Structure 1
Amino acid sequence: MLHVETFKAYSEDDLSNQINYFLKQIDENMIKEIKFSSFAFSIEKEYQIIYTALIIYYVR
């Protein structure tokens, strides 16, 4: 089964912490394959930088 997780933060450190927490919470034996992951940032209103990440993975 395909799953998608998205993450959004105002700093790279916070984004990294969110992803690490997510990876610790899931059972590694259940993940068949991480198909795609990406990292990007965008500048929103008032020049606020938003960091985003996307992880697409298959579960056994």
Structure 2
Amino acid sequence: MSSGQNSGGLMSSAGLVRYFDAEDRNAITVDPKAVMVFCVLFGIFVQILNAVGV
């Protein structure tokens, strides 16, 4: 490959990194601990429903 040709791989991925790294002020933020608590409670709920036979 000659030094004049650019495959574009690094250049195109750099744009995605900048896009996903930016934080929007209007975005909904959820605490990761709240997500974990919800998952645990949902799992317990499913186990209770399974034990009852629903």
Query: What is the TM-score of this pair, normalised by structure 2?
Result: 0.32
- Taking CA–CA contacts closer than 8 Å with sequence separation of 6 or more, which of the two structures ends up with the larger relative contact order? 1
Considering fraction of residues, name the structure with more helix. 2
Bigger CA radius of gyration: 2
Considering fraction of residues, name the structure with more strand. 1
